[in-house]
A and B are shown apart, each in its own frame.
Chain A
Amino acid sequence: MSVVGQQTWSLCSIEIHGFLGVGDDGLTVQLDRPVTILIGPNGSGKSTILEAVEWALFGITAVGAAGEELRTPNLDAHRMYIHRGSPEAAVHLEFAADGHALEWRRTRRHTKPRPGDDAVVCNLDGEPVVPDPNELFGVTGELFRRAVAPGQGALQALISGDKTKRDAALDRLFGVELLNNLTLGLSKARFDLESERRGLRAKLDGFRSGLRSEITRRFDERTAARSAALDGEATAEMLTPAAAAASAEALGSELEVAVETRGGDLATLRETFASLRTTADARWSGTGPGERETRLLEVAQTATAHRDRWQKAVSDRLDEETEFGSLVESTGTEEHLDMELGASKDKLAQLEASLNAMNSRIAVLSSAREWIAAQPVSPEEEIECPVCERPMIESELAGLIDVVLASLAGADGEASAVQERVEGARKQIRELSANLDAVSQKREQVGTLAKREQALATDIIHRLRGHAGQLPAQPDVVEAPVATLVKEVLLLGASIAPDGSSLPTPALNDLLGRLAVATRSALQQTQGEIAQTREAAQAAREKVLSLERTIRFLEAEAQLDELDSAVGNVELATASAALDAVDSGVETLLAVIQVADGVSQAEAQARIADVAPRLSSWYERLSSHDSLRGARIDVTTRRDRGGSRNSYSICATSDDGWETGAGPMLSGGYQTVLAVAALCALSDDERSRTSLGLLALDEPTQSLDPDMTTRMGHAVARINVPRLFLTTTEETFADAATEGAGASQVRVIRLRDWTAAGGTRTEGNP
């Protein structure tokens, strides 16, 4: 079809059914003049009619102020275009170009609301063609939204106080949003990749560092093991597996143990070492001479220490017996002393009786004397003797009694002599009793010592009997004399009576003495043998320990070798190579990011260069400011989230160089003027690249006073485009546009207030 892409198509008619606020009754807008003005109150559906054109062509519309396409799998989100209660939404567009007619219809059913399921029909001069806006009009959805029908969102973003929003809107209007997303996405990927790469690199470095640390530790262990090995019998030449194997074999031969070395295999050497060590330890702790030494030490203990105690008891007993003999010799035997004591006691009894009789006579005579003296008679008178009752002269009788009393009780009287003899007898009795007690005690002491001697002798024999049970049945030449003497002692012991009376002390003493000598001799020989054995065992043990130190060194060296090889292991090398590849990829990505940044900046600069003169021209046409008559747009680049961002500056300028952009120095009305000028300038530039002769400005009079509104109406009506579609709430604007373009060039369509029952309706419609 030759007309495609070569003609400028004018939109002639819009027919809407069941779309957004337009009900099933439908709405038709004829664009039969160059300028169409939709005028109506807020919410009457002006923007809906513009959105119907966008939806019909592209299946979706810009969403919100951001102007982004609705991309979601959510069915309800796509179903929202269908008027509430309607089964489907349908928009029919008619275009004309140099005698050619093009019809375009999109229908969306409630049951299949995805854009891909829409029924889209396009007929060119009655013949169906592929419904591709880009193919037919050179317009993509993105271009449509920024150059054909920027929408209220774009205008609001341009006059927003938020610089980020303004920059984003201009990026979109300039068509460099895609490039921005490209650079941002590349930068984000770079950030993520570098983060991941750093993590992996750190892990790899950690492995390598850990290995190096481990190698250092193992190296120190190896050095210590080598020093320990060389401190022993080993020389540097012996610190090899083969030399260790030779040492093990030599030691095995010495210890009479079969060993396996397998040419120095470390595991085998370790097993061999364990076997050799067990053997050497057994030799060290020893059997043979060691047990004999134990037996002989026990016999020696009995034959010396216990014999000494027994001999001491014998000596004590003999000393006591000697003392007893001497005592008996001086005092007499107990029998003799006992007899003497009896005789002395009899003699004492006789003397005491004689003394008693004498004392009685003295008492009688004394009483008689006292009676005579008391009698009232003269000394010459005769009185009767009170004792013999014979009459006697009183003086003679008294004299006679005095003489008798003097002989009895006088100082040298008879009674005094008897008294002395009584005292002597008593003394003798005391002495004899003491002697008798001493002799008896000594005799008992001798008996006690004899019993102790007996007990010790019996204990010695009992002990030797126990030792005899431990002696081998066939004692060797060293132990045989001891065994013989033990038997002799036991034989002698068998003859001892239970009361010890038959204790053969000298014989026993003699045997025990000989046993002590024989045991001492055997013990000396045994300990000599043990010393020799231990010396040999010690030597073997030293060799075993030396072998162990050598094996430890060889193991430490093997572990070190293993770690050395681990450093260069295949996995780490692979990881390193893969990370190098990632590094290379990141470098490539960096190059692409730089290129994308450059393209983005160049593109923005190029667009600015194209648009800047038009912007100033449009601002001059729209502005009535007495000073700010021109406008300027610049772009710089700033870094944002790792990528480049365009930073725009749109300013109104004065002849003397003063300039101001969005902010307190520029009123809301002039900000709108500046934004509309920018939209018009951008559209001028972009429209030339399409074959769709349409420009839609949705309420460009926001924040404008009546004069500014009028000026805006005059200005925009002169835009050179086949079809200019304007919406407004202001009659002033419509009037001015009509005046500006000429009444014959303008179709004004008034919309009623929207109602739920009727939806969007024109005043001509019922």
Chain B
Amino acid sequence: MDEIREQMNCRLRETLGDDTRRADAEQLVARVCDVLDQGDTSAEAVAETVREALASSLEQAEAALAQAEQTLRGRA
């Protein structure tokens, strides 16, 4: 697993260079590899890990939209 992690990070460095996304990508790779290291190697486990990693932004968007809907209804 460490080998895979290293290969992916190496390729991320090659692909993204100094792009600000690289840190996020490496963090995502680390989270996914950690899950795989723990023994759950299914695609579902990987997908769920990624989903959790981006959950906060989605939840923030959902919450903001719900609040906006409520505000706009109040104005209508």
Binding site for B on A (CB under 8 A): 71, 177-179, 181-182, 184-186, 188-190, 192-193, 196-197, 200, 203-204, 207, 210-211, 214, 562-563, 566, 569, 571-572, 574-575, 578-579, 581-582, 584-589, 591-592, 594-596, 598-599, 602-603
Known: A200-B65, A591-B12, A595-B8. A186 touches B60 (CB 8 A): no
Contact between B51 and A200, CB atoms less than 8 A apart: no
Q: How far is the CA of A586 from the CA of B57 in the complex (A)?
A: 11
Name the interface residues of B19-55: CB closer than 8 Å to any CB of A: 21, 24-25, 28-29, 32, 36, 39-51, 53-54
Majority SS of interface residues in chain A?
helix
Known: A188-B43, A566-B72, A599-B4. A582 touches B54 (CB 8 A): yes
Name the interface residues of B49-76: CB closer than 8 Å to any CB of A: 49-51, 53-54, 57-58, 60-62, 64-65, 67-69, 71-72, 75-76
Contact between B75 and A566, CB atoms less than 8 A apart: yes
Q: How far is the CA of A614 from the CA of B6 in the complex (A)?
A: 28
Give the distance to chain A from B51, nearest Cβ to Cβ, in Å.
6
Q: Which residues of A contact B29 (CB under 8 A)?
A: 592, 595
Contact between B72 and A185, CB atoms less than 8 A apart: no
Give the distance to chain B from A410, nearest Cβ to Cβ, in Å.
131
Contact between B15 and A189, CB atoms less than 8 A apart: no
Contact between A592 and B60, CB atoms less than 8 A apart: no
List the B residue with the shortest CB-CB distance to A178: B41
19 contacts between A and B (CB under 8 A): A178-B41, A185-B50, A189-B50, A192-B47, A200-B62, A569-B68, A571-B71, A575-B61, A575-B64, A578-B58, A582-B58, A584-B21, A588-B25, A589-B54, A591-B25, A592-B28, A595-B11, A599-B4, A603-B4
Binding site for A on B (CB under 8 A): 1, 4, 7-8, 11-12, 15-16, 21, 24-25, 28-29, 32, 36, 39-51, 53-54, 57-58, 60-62, 64-65, 67-69, 71-72, 75-76
Contact between B46 and A189, CB atoms less than 8 A apart: yes
Contact between A591 and B41, CB atoms less than 8 A apart: no
Q: Give me 9 other A-B pairs in contact (C-beta within 8 A), A179-B4, A585-B24, A587-B21 excluded.
A: A178-B4, A182-B46, A207-B72, A214-B76, A569-B68, A578-B58, A581-B60, A585-B53, A599-B7
Q: Which residues of A contact B49 (CB under 8 A)?
A: 185, 189
Q: How far is the CA of A667 from the CA of B11 in the complex (A)?
A: 43
List the A residue with the shortest CB-CB distance to B69: A207
Contact between A184 and B65, CB atoms less than 8 A apart: no
Contact between A185 and B46, CB atoms less than 8 A apart: yes
Q: Which residues of A contact B69 (CB under 8 A)?
A: 207
By CB atoms of chain B within 10 A, which of A185, A581, A586, A589 has the most?
A185
Contact between B24 and A186, CB atoms less than 8 A apart: no
Contact between B41 and A181, CB atoms less than 8 A apart: yes
User: Which residue from B1, B25, B42, B71 sits with its C-beta under 8 Å from A592?
Assistant: B25
Q: How far is the CA of A193 from the CA of B68 in the complex (A)?
A: 22
Q: How far is the CA of A563 from the CA of B75 in the complex (A)?
A: 8
User: Which residue from B12, B40, B68, B75 sits with its C-beta under 8 Å from A595?
Assistant: B12
Q: Which residues of B contact A210 (CB under 8 A)?
A: 72
Contact between A578 and B60, CB atoms less than 8 A apart: yes
Q: Which residues of B contact A188 (CB under 8 A)?
A: 43-44, 46-47
List the A residue with the shortest CB-CB distance to B51: A189
Q: How far is the CA of A554 from the CA of B6 in the complex (A)?
A: 67
Known: A178-B36, A571-B71, A572-B64. A596 touches B8 (CB 8 A): yes
Give the distance to chain B from A57, nearest Cβ to Cβ, in Å.
15
Give the distance to chain A from B38, nearest Cβ to Cβ, in Å.
12
User: Which residue from A181, A207, A587, A596 sits with its C-beta under 8 Å from B68?
Assistant: A207
Contact between B4 and A591, CB atoms less than 8 A apart: no
Contact between B47 and A572, CB atoms less than 8 A apart: no
List the B residue with the shortest CB-CB distance to A602: B7
Q: Which residues of B contact A582 (CB under 8 A)?
A: 54, 57-58, 61
List the A residue with the shortest CB-CB distance to B54: A585
Contact between A588 and B36, CB atoms less than 8 A apart: no
Give the distance to chain B from A596, nearest Cβ to Cβ, in Å.
6
Known: A185-B43, A591-B21. A571 touches B54 (CB 8 A): no
Q: How far is the CA of A177 from the CA of B68 in the complex (A)?
A: 45
Contact between B46 and A200, CB atoms less than 8 A apart: no
Give the distance to chain A from B22, nearest Cβ to Cβ, in Å.
8
Q: What 3 pairs between A and B have smallest CB-CB spacing?
A: A185-B46, A571-B68, A189-B50
Give the distance to chain A from B37, nearest Cβ to Cβ, in Å.
10
Contact between B65 and A182, CB atoms less than 8 A apart: no
